[in-house]
A and B are shown apart, each in its own frame.
Chain A
Amino acid sequence: MIKARVIVTLKNGVLDPQGKAIEHALGGLGFDGVGQVRQGKVFDVELGHSDKARAEADLKAMCEKLLANTVIENYAVEIA
């Protein structure tokens, strides 16, 4: 079995109001010097086979078709 992690983040230049709010809250907690905060998503995906090449191709397709909205988001796939 293959375990993969997909990380989806907002593209540069796309406004992230949630990240901004978190950035502001961190400052309020007394964490000085916090720069920009951007919020993203993590998906842990288990695949019922151990073919790494197939897993890479499938995960890329999953990102393109559903996990990420490529209009506003980038994705990265890590295979354990």
Chain B
Amino acid sequence: MKSAVVLLPGLNRDRDMIAALTRISGQPPVTVWESDTAIPDVDLIVIPGGFSYGDYLRCGAIAARMPALRAVAEKAAQGVMVIGVCNGFQILVEAGLLPGALMRNTSLKFVCREVKLEVANANTAFTRNYRPGQIIRCPVAHHDGNYFADAETLARLEGNGQVVFRYAEGTNPNGSINDIAGIVNDKGNVLGMMPHPENLIEAAHGGTDGRALFESALGIAA
């Protein structure tokens, strides 16, 4: 399956994401620049982490209004799979492709450490290679990962199984409501998550718990 990575000024996790996708899919992803108005035919589009546009205004706010993100929205509407990690998640909520908002961590501190994640829904295109309820390790590195949604939206997300990853075993690093670490849209083809699965895909990383996410999305059997 073919993948694409969206590049925006200020992102800094693009190299790791490109490396992960290349290793796992066997071919390098195509890259899409901020001003590109169209995205080639791919099965998966990934928006990596970093600090697009210096986090000016709100994290992800400027990026979400760029032509490349309009092109991502068009592809998402056609059913193409989209993953946003960290700043990519913030961009997807600012673009309205995912509900809610990501706010400043309640500690007011940038957190860079490993957390435990529970696979809260293993029945999505992004998690089918995990076991339901599986606890995985994953690094986080962010200042604004505190997921918030109003009560009605939250009830809908929980009721539809759109909460895909939850911080587990008391490792919530940011005060996120209901320990939410990652969600999908109602169609199930857009995933946003704060933790960095691309940094846990080979033994040299200290673990491979992130690999199954990309293998699921790329249609590679477990």
A binds B: yes
- The closest CB in chain B to the CB of A39 belongs to B104
With a cutoff of 8 Å between Cβ atoms, the chain A residues found around residue B100 in the complex are 71
- Verify A71–B108 contact, CB threshold 8 A: no
Interface pair A66/B106, CB less than 8 Å apart: no
Interface of chain B: mostly helix, strand, loop or mixed: loop
Interface-lining segment among B1-9, B57-65, B186-194, B206-214: B57-65
> Which chain A residues in 3-48 approach chain B with CB under 8 Å?
14-15, 17-18, 21
Q: Which of B58, B65, B149, B175 contacts A15, CB < 8 Å?
A: B175
Interfacial residues of chain B within 52-74, with CB under 8 A of chain A in the complex = 57-58, 61, 65
Docked pose: A69 CA to B95 CA in angstroms = 10
CB neighbours (8 Å) of B108 from chain A are 17-18, 21
Cβ-based interface call for B101 (8 A): yes
The answer to whether B101 touches A69 (Cβ under 8 A) is yes
Give the CA-CA distance A14 to B103 in the complex, in Å: 10
Q: Is the pair B57, A17 in contact by a Cβ cutoff of 8 Å?
A: no
Q: Within 8 Å CB of B61, what residues of A? A: 66, 69
Partner pick for A71 among B101, B106, B175, CB 8 A cutoff: B101
Q: Which residue of A lies closest to B109 (CB)?
A: A17
CB distance from B97 to the nearest CB of A (A): 13
Q: Is the CB of B103 within 8 A of A15?
A: yes
Given A66-B61, A69-B58, A69-B94: A14 and B104 within 8 A (CB)? no
Q: Which 9 A-B pairs have the closest CB atoms?
A: A71-B101, A72-B101, A17-B106, A17-B108, A17-B104, A21-B108, A69-B58, A69-B101, A18-B104
B interface residues, Cβ below 8 angstroms from A = 57-58, 61, 65, 93-94, 99-101, 103-108, 146, 148-150, 175
Question: Can you report 30 A-B residue pairs in the complex whose CB atoms are below 8 A from each other?
Answer: A14-B103, A14-B148, A15-B103, A15-B106, A15-B146, A15-B148, A15-B175, A17-B104, A17-B105, A17-B106, A17-B107, A17-B146, A18-B108, A21-B108, A65-B65, A66-B57, A66-B65, A67-B57, A69-B58, A69-B61, A69-B94, A69-B101, A71-B93, A71-B100, A71-B101, A71-B148, A71-B149, A72-B101, A72-B103, A72-B148
